[in-house]
Amino acid sequence: MVREGFESAKKATSVSVGESVCIIRELQELSQNQLAEYSGIPESTISAIENDRISVGVERAKALARALKCHPAVLVFPGWDIDAGPAE
């Protein structure tokens, strides 16, 4: 809904899956080592995810989401836009 005299905010930046994991982890003041302990995912794998060297995958996304207390979609689809239409 756009109110008269206002326009929708523009997206300022894009965030990768790895960056979203890192941002949420840092906002919760967790180290990669702590996240590894809480999620059961090796620290080296968390580092690789945060640096976009490997994909998260469904099971890792669930484990990370539980550890970070967020919905997996927040991690896996950080820049998803409902109005963007179908993916090509």
DSSP 13-26: ----HHHHHHHHHH
Domains defined along the chain, listed by start = 17-77 (1.10.260.40)
Residue 5 has pLDDT above 60, yes or no: yes
For 46, the token pair is: 């968390």
What is the pLDDT, as a whole number, of residue 14? 83
Distance of alpha carbon 46 from alpha carbon 74, whole angstroms: 16
Summarize pLDDT for 74-87 with one digit per residue, the tens.
999 887 776 766 65
Contacts 24+ apart (CB under 8 A), 44-47: 46/21
Distance of alpha carbon 29 from alpha carbon 42, whole angstroms: 18
3-state secondary structure of 27: helix
